[in-house]
Amino acid sequence: MSKIVSGFSKLTKEQKIDWLAKNYFENQPEIIKTIKQYWNVDEKLQQLHDDFIENTISNFYMPYGVAPNFVINGREYVIPMVVEESSVVAAASLVGKFWSTRGGFKTQVISTTKIGQVHFIYAGNKNSLQDYFTKNKTELRSATASITKNMEKRGGGILDIELIDKTNQLDNYYQLHVTFETKDSMGANFINSCLEAIARKFQKDDIEIVMSILSNYVPECLVRAEVSCKVEELGGKNPEKFAQKFEQAVKIAEIEPYRAVTHNKGIMNGIDAVVLATGNDFRAIEAGAHAYASRNGKYSSLTHCEIKDGVFRFWIELPLALGTVGGLTALHPMAKLSLDMMQKPSARTLMQIIAAAGLAQNFGALRALTTKGIQHGHMKMHLMNILNQHHATEQEKEEVTHYFEGRTVSHSAVVEKLNSMRKPAINWVDFSDNIKIKESLSKLPAKAKPLFGKMKGQQMVEHLSTVTQIANGNWKVDSYVSEEKQARRRPYLNTDGELQVGFKAPFLSEDPTPLKFKSMDEAIEDLINQVNHFTKVFTEDKNRIVVHPFFGELDYDFWKKFQVKHFTHHFKQFGLV
């Protein structure tokens, strides 16, 4: 059955969801519930979001964070960031604070011009085309008068129109290359409207207009951000070594495209997050930045580093075509809030803030890479994502976070820790509770077969009694445990770990020893007597130390911990707990 639908855009939002659920989710009610769960409760606000694009059925949330402590050209900022990747906001915040005490970020806008082009085909005489263009250049500008009027009042408009010959690359291909200044507007709609007006005026029988469109490659809309300080002010154990490694890391990204792509991706982590938060077009920014990184014929780093005369300098230069008026920046409430948070910047100021964010992100990544490694900090931040993925409770999150404070985070390690915490609570056996011990063992046949191991029921009871005699001083075992082994083994008694199946002290024989008593009742009675004696001898001599054949010298507290583990182990052997 075909799933092709006609008139989908004319369906209501509810009808779109019903069609989707029926055709692609087999009418699963939880799918519809999930889609509607992300609707805004404010109907007017939801309608605003619905109108941003076509065929909307819900909202897709992204985390909105802030990076404080940025000082840019002597002014303090808190920078909003919309990003799904952990560690991005944390890194920006840390780096912002780091440089706030070292002079902050120094930024400048180099230029703000943007480009649009009318692409056309002309097979006639080149000189005739040049004459036609020259004669009509003023008319081409005039054709946009009604569009440029308001922009010109703000100091913007069309700066220049050039005829470009590209016939050496594509037969009969030319373009009108138009330079614009759009002030605080990103200007995409303005530029495209101007280009279409110019194309209509320029077109004639022997000129075929192919298309009219702005370019997202804006190498003349440049901003620069820089940080610098004396090398010794970088801090750490060896600031000179750090500065050298940092510089080398940047130089590698300058000459190695494989590294440069990842290097620049890290820069865009910071840039895109602020671009998104302000309702600007992050895809255009990405495309323009990567094109700029390739402007010399080879993909290279957008940042650069220099150590000269004992001063560390790190800077970025890239194109950023941004707007603070018009488009989504004027419609999306959170975009407006972001701009207010940054003290209502002009487009030029926003360029500088975003460049600083990109430079900060790159500094944070390179500092991690050249010191502890990128995964150390990244996985710490990723920890919460792993915990949420496995539906950890708040108590589990707190315990796991504390556990990994001094450990390396990995997905498998976190899952292993969670699983260990979620194991059913161990039903530890209280070996000193004579009544319960007797009740449990009385149900056990003398020849009962174990779930693991070789001992039968009565042999196990006599074994517990025999081992207790070691602590009581009634059985001398010729064994020696080195201090090194004691130090390694004894701490285990303080844990919640159980004695593993197959655990056997070296002084025991491979096979069970012959029975000492004629009946199970006698064996149980002896065990109770040995446990009582155990308590008596240690109570009478509080400083008593007795060597355990595996764990070494144990006092009363350690012997009790061992007895609990030992009794529990063997009770489990016969399914008594």
In the DSSP assignment, the letter for residue 485 is: H
Burial (CB < 10 A; 0-12, 13-18, 19+), residue 70, is buried
For residue 29, give its domain range.
8-51
Q: Tell me, yes or no, whether 56 lies in a domain.
A: no
Q: Tell me, yes or no, whether 95 lies in a domain.
A: yes
Q: What would the DSSP string read from start to end of 344-370?
A: S--HHHHHHHHHHHHHHHHHHHHHHHT
Q: Tell me, yes or no, whether 427 lies in a domain.
A: no
Is the domain of 182 the same as that of 249?
Answer: no
Which of 365, 329, 351, 361 has its CA nearest to residue 285? 351
Q: How many CB atoms lie within 10 A of CB 7?
A: 6
- d(CA 285, CA 186) in angstroms, rounded, equals 11
C-alpha gyration radius of the chain: 38
Burial (CB < 10 A; 0-12, 13-18, 19+), residue 77, is buried
Is the domain of 364 the same as that of 389?
Answer: no
Is the domain of 291 the same as that of 361?
Answer: yes
- d(CA 380, CA 385) in angstroms, rounded, equals 10
Chain center to CA of 165: 47
Catalytic residue among 119, 290, 378, 417: 378
Q: How many CB atoms lie within 10 A of CB 454?
A: 10
Catalytic residue among 226, 247, 272, 281: 281
Is the domain of 516 the same as that of 551?
Answer: yes
CATH number of the domain that 129 lies in? 3.30.70.420
Question: For this structure, is 378 an active site residue?
Answer: yes
Q: Which residues lie below 8 Å from residue 58, measured CB to CB, with a gap of 6+?
A: 35, 36, 38, 39
Q: Tell me, yes or no, whether 569 lies in a domain.
A: yes
The tally of CA atoms less than 13 A away on the side-chain side of residue 170 is 9
- Given 179, 198, 215, the domain boundary residue is 215
DSSP E strands in 191-250: the ranges are 207-214, 222-230
Please give the C-alpha separations between residue 444 and each of 65, 233, 351, 460, 567, in angstroms, as whole numbers: 63, 74, 80, 10, 15
Assigned token pair, 195: 């280009």
- d(CA 367, CA 453) in angstroms, rounded, equals 55
Is the domain of 255 the same as that of 301?
Answer: yes
Q: Tell me, yes or no, whether 201 lies in a domain.
A: yes
Catalytic residue among 85, 220, 286, 396: 85
Q: Tell me, yes or no, whether 106 lies in a domain.
A: yes
For the chain, 577 residues long, the average pLDDT of each consecutive 10-residue run is: 86 94 90 94 94 95 96 98 93 97 97 96 97 97 96 95 98 98 93 97 96 96 98 94 97 98 97 97 97 97 97 98 88 95 96 98 94 63 82 88 81 86 83 94 94 92 94 80 88 89 69 90 95 94 91 94 95 92
* pTM to 2 decimal places: 0.69
Q: Which 3 state secondary structure label does DSSP give 433?
A: coil
Question: For this structure, is 85 an active site residue?
Answer: yes
Query: Beta strands 311-319 and 303-308: pairing type?
Result: antiparallel
- Given 199, 215, 231, the domain boundary residue is 215
Is the domain of 39 the same as that of 80?
Answer: no
In total, how many domains does the chain have?
A: 5
Contact, 447 vs 456, CB < 8 A? yes
Residue burial 373-403, b: 16+ Cβ < 10 Å; e: rest: ebeebbbbbbbeebbeeeebeeebeeebeee
Q: Tell me, yes or no, whether 59 lies in a domain.
A: no
Is the domain of 275 the same as that of 328?
Answer: yes
DSSP collapsed to 3 states, 453-470: CCCCHHHHHHHHHHHHHH
CATH number of the domain that 458 lies in? 1.20.120
Is the domain of 463 the same as that of 399?
Answer: no
Which of 218, 184, 228, 185 has its CA nearest to residue 359? 228
Contact, 278 vs 324, CB < 8 A? yes
Q: Tell me, yes or no, whether 428 lies in a domain.
A: no
Is the domain of 227 the same as that of 95?
Answer: yes
Is the domain of 453 the same as that of 494?
Answer: yes
Long-range contacts of residues 556-563, Cβ cutoff 8 Å, at least 24 apart? 558/490, 558/493, 559/471, 559/534, 560/432, 561/493, 561/494, 562/493, 563/431, 563/468, 563/471, 563/534
Assigned token pair, 420: 């260990």
Which of 360, 398, 357, 401 has its CA nearest to residue 380? 401
Assigned token pair, 317: 């230069």
CA quadruple 380, 384, 390, 392: dihedral sign: positive
pLDDT of residue 278: 97
- Given 358, 389, 422, the domain boundary residue is 422
Q: Which residues lie below 8 Å from residue 60, measured CB to CB, with a gap of 6+?
A: 38
pLDDT of residue 373: 65
Catalytic residue among 49, 201, 265, 380: 265
Is the domain of 196 the same as that of 301?
Answer: no
CATH number of the domain that 308 lies in? 3.90.770.10
Question: For this structure, is 226 an active site residue?
Answer: no
Residue burial 246-276, b: 16+ Cβ < 10 Å; e: rest: bbebbeebbeeeeebeebbebbbbbbbbbbb
Is the domain of 96 the same as that of 232?
Answer: yes
- d(CA 264, CA 288) in angstroms, rounded, equals 12
Q: Which residues lie below 8 Å from residue 387, measured CB to CB, with a gap of 6+?
A: 396, 397, 400, 414, 418
